[in-house]
Amino acid sequence: MAKRSPGLRFQPSGGERKAQVPVGKKQRLVIERLAHDGRGIAFPDGRSWFVAGALPGEDVEVRVLGARSQVVEARTERIFTAAALRRAAPCAHAGRCGGCSLQHLPHDEQLALKQRTLADQLQRFASLEPEEWAPPLVGPELGYRRRARIAVRWDAKGQRLEVGFRAMSSQDIVAIDDCPVLVQPLQPLLRALPALLSGLDKPQAVGHVELFHGTQSALLLRHTTPLSEADLARLRSFCVTHAAQLWLQGAGEPQADQAGQPLGYRLERWGLELQYRPGDFVQVNGGVNEAMVAQALQWLAPHTDERVLDLFCGLGNFALPLAQAVREVVAVEGVQAMVERARDNARHNALGNLHFFHADLSKPLAEAGWAAQAFDAVLLDPPRDGAFEVVRQVGVLGARRLLYVSCNPATLARDAAELARQGYRLKRAGILDMFPQTAHVEAMALFEAG
């Protein structure tokens, strides 16, 4: 093969490659519209700029956070002309803390953005629109979060402990003395936490801290080396003062400092209490969770003589209320520890018509003994990856009604397209505002066999 002349230049087929935009560069932009994740979008020089904290129509100065090919990610540094709908953020840390991205957008506009996102995904990936749009399921826009993970890092150079939340698009930690989205019982723990952790004999041993609130408040401390007796005494005294359980996690699973302490949450409408352990999946928004369960039962409209399948059942969040309304519930979960916890919850609530199974839901359902008999209805609440393998096989279950609870509109739309291919109609859909002040979209969709 002949060698190429060193004097020749070869350009990509698309033409001359543009110079990469350097991180840290400042740029003035006019924002044209919002992306699904709530960032503003501008298109200077043929590139797509995604700008955190910017709204359509705004003239802003931004700082580049990263760039690849024709896409640039940036954050707002200065606003020259503000949009009429911009509001003052309710949190003093907005724009720096990475926990909330939409506080500058009024709540009704946040809901409209999430509704558009769901509708766009269903149309784009499934060419579907529901026969009926349900109004958004909402709760308070602040003071809703009953679980929070607190970042902790030892600064060896400064000989100090950093405590707070991760900064936006960074591993930096923003010190937080007040978080408006946390439920009120966790606020005093959050405010007092930095002083507690900094006062430990070995603060560098702290990995992270999680706060929980349900039937009781709880504090989980992840530690990388054993704690001294003095530090244990400090932690115990702190938890007694704040009426919180203490949980510790070293190399293994989280353990309660005092054995036998139940940690749980209540579903008041059904008189149910579900117990869990730190590390289990629990919806962070208690009020919207209860309203979501009620709406799921209303849409699914189960009859007392029916047999219902609950897939990805977790702790039994849907399965236990369903069991009060139907003849039998078969509940399936992919995490063995959660299956055991769900069984315990059924026993604790004196429900005998529930049957729990551990199964890999990416495998064919026909191989599972629990799927041998037909079901009248199916409820599924999968993780962000969705439930494509399940919906591909849903025909073997015989159910004419299927309720899908989603935390990712893109995978919901993909799965909805498969259900439509099998003859299911999208009867109803709507958003669930589980995470106000963020662009995270949860949704519910009801399908019926044609």
Collapsing DSSP states into helix, strand and coil, what is residue 122?
helix
Strands annotated E in 160-216 = 160-166, 173-174, 206-213
Collapsing DSSP states into helix, strand and coil, what is residue 411?
helix
Please answer whether residues 50 and 41 qualify as being in contact, where contact means their C-beta atoms are separated by less than 8 angstroms.
Answer: yes
Active site residues: 407
Please answer whether residues 270 and 280 qualify as being in contact, where contact means their C-beta atoms are separated by less than 8 angstroms.
Answer: no
What span, in angstroms and rounded, lies between the C-alpha atoms of 263 and 216? Answer: 6
The alpha-carbon radius of gyration of the chain (Å, integer) is 25
In the sheet where 147-155 sits, what is the strand order?
A: 173-174, 160-166, 147-155, 206-213, 217-223, 244-249, 255-256
What span, in angstroms and rounded, lies between the C-alpha atoms of 320 and 343? Answer: 10
The Cα angle at residue 92 between residues 91 and 95, in degrees rounded to 5 = 85
Please answer whether residues 128 and 413 qualify as being in contact, where contact means their C-beta atoms are separated by less than 8 angstroms.
Answer: yes
What span, in angstroms and rounded, lies between the C-alpha atoms of 90 and 295? Answer: 30
What span, in angstroms and rounded, lies between the C-alpha atoms of 92 and 327? Answer: 51
**Cβ neighbours of residue 5 closer than 8 Å, sequence gap 6 or more:** none
Instruction: DSSP for 28-87, please give it.
Output: EEE--EE-TTS-EEE-GGG-EEEEET--TT-EEEEEEEEEETTEEEEEEEEEEE--TT--
Residue with tokens 């025909």: 395
User: Directed axis angle between helix 187-198 and helix 229-241, to 10°?
Assistant: 160
Phi, then psi, of 359 in degrees rounded to 5: -160, 150
Residue with tokens 């999208």: 426
